[in-house]
Amino acid sequence: MKLLQKTQLGKLELNNSVVMAPMTRSRADANGLVGQMTLDYYSQRSSAGLIISEAVNISEDALGSPYTPGIYTQEQVDAWKKVTSAVHEKGGKIFIQLWHTGRVGHSSVRNGVLPVAPSAIRIEGQQHFTPTGMQDYEVPRELKLEEVKDIIKQYGIAAKNSLEAGFDGVELHGAFGYLPNQFLVDGSNKRTDEFGGSIENRSRFVLEIMKELVNVFGEGRVGIKLSPSIPFNGMIDSDPKALYTYLITELNKMPLAYLHLMEALFPLDSLPHYPKDILGTFGQLFDKKIITNGGYSRETGEKALENGIANLVSFGALYVANPDLVKRFELNAQYNEPDRNTFYGGSDKGYIDYPFLEV
């Protein structure tokens, strides 16, 4: 099986082509610290060729959802050091996914402070999870130009902290409607300065962040996750094909490890100009490794690798419920069923208590 074959990813040799996708699990404490549960969680899944961590806040102002971890204090760095050491002791590799939620948050989660965004445009037709229940989204505060440039620097600082914490590399969360994605699409970015207007200007925020990350981690240790055809969180663009063609072409000029592409997971009947075949539309623009993500199984993941556009496959819900997923792929064994009621927040139930195969 191609999924089980060793592969080179940037500067790293991976034991297989199975990637544990980044998944928010909301098990950090109120100070954004991960603990023993999180150490156990990632350690259990160290047989993945690559683990990409849950999204990790780059600053206090990046926070949007409760009980999500950070990488901006020394305590947080020290806590993650224990996690990366545990993964490495089992022969695994782990990247950190860096996160700024932008307008995908709520003031009740942020000590009364409004979320920030490229423009003062709120998300319509959705609600946000808060400790007091689901809440309508608020109109975010538009970032000043100097604040935009400061956030780019904050990504660089978070990358330095990640390097100190022992991560093998870093992925920018540029997908699913969070701050970098908000800058990209013209439905949420109405700026008139150097970070708004043209496709080149709207892409600038992401490209400048990627330069910061490469400056810290070096060649072959930086990736980015993109979701060109996912309109969730109000990610509506007038010409996503042109936008992502430009962005990925520019990313291809950088010494990256990979491009992590999300499939079109949402109905697009009302958005006929959105590409449905993500790998076919954008894969040829990138000559380094491509990780594909989006509801894959053992069989469909293998087929994606055989088709030759994707080089690795990331798995989400399957990895929640099956810490030994690689072994189950190898043996074509039955899967544990994920308990969706315990995906976010709570105790070790539904987090580190899924059984391993008895072999």
The catalytic residues are 178
Distance separating alpha carbons of residues 6 and 16, to the nearest angstrom: 4
Measured in degrees and rounded to the nearest 5, phi and psi for residue 347 equal: -105, -155
Distance separating alpha carbons of residues 138 and 114, to the nearest angstrom: 8
- Selection from 177, 184, 181 nearest residue 198 by Cα: 184
Distance separating alpha carbons of residues 343 and 325, to the nearest angstrom: 17
Residue 141: in which H helix or E strand, if any? Answer: strand 141-142
Look up residue 227 and give its amino acid. S
CA distances from 342 to 103, 206, 351 (A): 25, 33, 7
CB atoms within 10 A of CB 338: 17
3-class DSSP string for 10-66: CCEEECCCEEECCCCCCCCCCCCCCCHHHHHHHHHCCCCCEEEEEEEECCHHHCCCC
